[in-house]
Amino acid sequence: MNHLLPFVLVICLSLLLQACSERVELHRQLTEQEANEVVAELADKHIRATKVPAKDGVIVVVNATEIARAVRTLEAVGLPRAARTTLGNTFRKEGVISTPLEERARYIYALSQELETTLSNIDGVIVARVHVVLPERVAPGEPVQPASASVFIKHDPRLDPDSIRARVRRMVASSLPGMATAVDNSQKLTVVFVPATAYLEQQRLAYFGPFLVPEDDLGFWRICVTVSLLAVVFMVSGGMFWQKRKQRVMPTPDVRAQTHEVSSSMTAHSSNE
């Protein structure tokens, strides 16, 4: 048994190492708020995620066995949210003279980004996209082309689009030049709502010996079996060690009989004297 003990220990340690899943990087360069949103959403789906501080932001790591579930879960809710550019960042003074066309393009882009950021903050909105066309005179003497805007909103299936449709139209129309009277004009202002497809998680099973168990619980059962094997090995080894020690301390029946005979003969000899 003592010769088999090292082999049993090696097998148990191997199982323990396999049970400890490798941690892989899910997202990096996140702000503290973005990382908290990601970790909270994954925790709701029973996916363990950890934040790791880094020089360029926060890194979120998960178990390698749960990376697929984590990615699909975050995609379904639009996390982490895409970074937006503000008007201040877009028109930051850099000492480079821009052409009027470049300035106009940057202005349109900044307006779209600002509106997308505001719409994304509405509860239930997962993704918001805004495409803006500002009033423009195509050629001298030609009439000015009216402003228009198209809004795309991907939302949580539990959100009723009619509950926010009017507010979205008013906000977009009042935020763009030349759109103040286009609140009810579907040709100048179009808002499209698309419900997001919910991620339906399917429990995956894996073989643990002859048994099928949930794949996420595979590490737990490996640890249980490993601990049980270690307990059995230590109990058997302790029993054998105690038995051998007891045999060394306690004399055998033959030795006890011989000791008794010697003691009796010595007592009889003393009596005769």
- Distance between CA atoms of residues 36 and 50, nearest Å: 10
Report the greatest alpha carbon distance in the chain: 153
Domain annotation covers residue 46: yes
- Distance between CA atoms of residues 14 and 20, nearest Å: 10
- Do 128 and 30 belong to one domain? no
- The amino acid sitting at 139 is A
Q: How many domains does the chain have?
A: 3
- Do 115 and 170 belong to one domain? yes
Domain annotation covers residue 176: yes
- Do 129 and 224 belong to one domain? no
- Do 126 and 50 belong to one domain? no
Domain annotation covers residue 70: yes
- The amino acid sitting at 148 is S
Domain residues for 220? 205-245
- Do 99 and 176 belong to one domain? yes
pTM above 0.75, yes or no: no
- Phi first, then psi, for residue 58 (nearest 5°) are -115, 140
Domain annotation covers residue 268: no
- Do 63 and 40 belong to one domain? yes
178: left (phi over 0), alpha (psi -120 to 50) or beta: left
Summarize pLDDT for 116-156 with one digit per residue, the tens.
Answer: 999 998 999 999 999 998 887 666 777 778 889 999 999 99
Q: Which CATH number covers residue 57?
A: 3.30.70.1530
**Up-side HSE of residue 19: CA atoms within 13 Å toward CB?**
18
Q: Which CATH number covers residue 179?
A: 3.30.300.30
> CA of 245: how far to CAs of 234, 235, 241, 261, in Å?
16, 15, 6, 26
- Do 60 and 91 belong to one domain? no
Sheet holding 23-30, edge to edge: 23-30, 57-63, 49-54
* Pairing, β 57-63 against β 23-30: antiparallel
Summarize pLDDT for 8-54 with one digit per residue, the tens.
Answer: 555 555 555 454 557 888 998 898 988 898 999 888 888 888 999 98
- Do 103 and 132 belong to one domain? yes
What pLDDT score does 102 carry? 77
Tokens of 83: 């970074």
Tokens of 199: 């991620």
Better-scored residue on pLDDT, 99 or 170:
170
Domain annotation covers residue 101: yes
Summarize pLDDT for 193-205 with one digit per residue, the tens.
Answer: 999 887 666 556 6
What's the CA angle centered on 129, arms 128 and 130, to 5 degrees?
A: 125
Handedness of CA 34, 39, 45, 48 (dihedral sign): positive
